[in-house]
A and B are shown apart, each in its own frame.
Chain A
Amino acid sequence: AQSVTQLDSHVSVSEGTPVLLRCNYSSSYSPSLFWYVQHPNKGLQLLLKYTSAATLVKGINGFEAEFKKSETSFHLTKPSAHMSDAAEYFCVVSDRSSNTGKLIFGQGTTLQVKP
């Protein structure tokens, strides 16, 4: 079985300060891990994904995440927040060895960016 826990439902930062969104996962199999972002009234956009190569993954818009197997974590970071980063962020896991694309989503973290 697989599951994802996003440790914060809401994170508030000031523009220009670092962003940290925390995610822990549980998986019986080798996981693929993703971060998606959802802006209001929009669909989901992929920020980055980990599938088994480098444990430090760089994504779009300056985001990156590090896969830590020993801690079962996949935290999302960005050095400097921008107002346009305000959105809902989802940590997602799938079974890397599966032939299906079923995704298991975390409950989401709302990122607020203050001017």
Chain B
Amino acid sequence: KAGVTQTPRYLIKTRGQQVTLSCSPISGHRSVSWYQQTPGQGLQFLFEYFSETQRNKGNFPGRFSGRQFSNSRSEMNVSTLELGDSALYLCASNAGLAGGTDTQYFGPGTRLTVL
């Protein structure tokens, strides 16, 4: 089975721009979660989507948004980029049926640099 894929792998943007990141989950997985990884804050939960609905959300400003399509692929969008948004953004997928006991499978991440 193919793993979780994320595109693009690297992005460079300037302040004020917006960006869209994409995640394709493992085939058959219906849940996709997004995490932000920075040296200062570590790994933080952004949001989770299940069957095209947002099921949970972390403590991030409204500039961070996401969506999920009928084929379970997910996108996250960050508008009005700030320098502090520079991070590795990781996507994780799981079957979505066992909640907190499900194993999350992570993609390689998208490295976003905001100049």
Contacts and interface: CB of A to CB of B under 8 A. Distances in A.
A44 B90 contact: yes
B20 interface: no
B45 A43 contact: no
B107 interface: yes
Given A101-B33, A102-B56, A51 B45 contact: no
Contacts of A46: 103-105
Main secondary structure of the interface of B (DSSP, over half): strand
Interface stretch (A18-26, A68-76, A79-87, A92-100): A92-100
A90 to B, nearest CB: 7
Interface string B77-115: 000000000000010101010011111111111000000
Contacts, number: 75
B72 interface: no
Measured as residues with beta carbon below 8 angstroms from the partner, the interface class of chain A is 20 to 34
Contact of B45 (A45, A49, A102): A102
Contacts of A94: 99-101
B106 A45 contact: yes
A32 interface: yes
A105 B102 CA distance: 15
B48 A42 contact: no
Nearest to B94: A101
Contacts of A97: 99-100
A107 interface: yes
Contacts of A44: 90, 92, 106
Contacts of B50: 100
A46 B107 CA distance: 12
Contacts of B4: 43
Interface of B: 4, 31, 33, 35, 42-45, 48, 50, 55-56, 58, 90, 92, 94, 96, 99-109
Interface of A: 31-32, 34, 36, 42-46, 49, 51-52, 90, 94-108
